[in-house]
Amino acid sequence: MRTTLDLPIDLLDEAMKTTHIKTKTKVIIIALEELVRKSKIAGLKEFKGKVDLDIDLNKIRGRQCQY
């Protein structure tokens, strides 16, 4: 989809230099994907401590108890 945007050129240039991405389109796509990813992670953090999982990590990882 084609869209016209009025973006601060210094911010766009800094993003391109920082990420080593050569096209404006790609750097904007990556930025949008990161925004969505971080938003989803923030949503998942709301569940921290609220979900009770009955998981034995030692058993899953194949560790044997020393005691």
Given a contact cutoff of 8 angstroms between Cβ atoms, the answer to whether 22 and 16 are in contact is yes
**pLDDT for the residue 7:** 96
| pTM score | 0.67
Task: Give the phi and the psi of residue 51 in degrees, each rounded to 5.
Answer: -110, 120
Calpha distance 12→66 (Å, rounded): 55
Is 80 exceeded by the pLDDT of residue 65?
A: no
Is 70 exceeded by the pLDDT of residue 58?
A: yes
Mean pLDDT of 11-38: 97
Mean pLDDT of 32-59: 88
What is the average pLDDT score of the chain?
90
**pLDDT for the residue 66:** 64
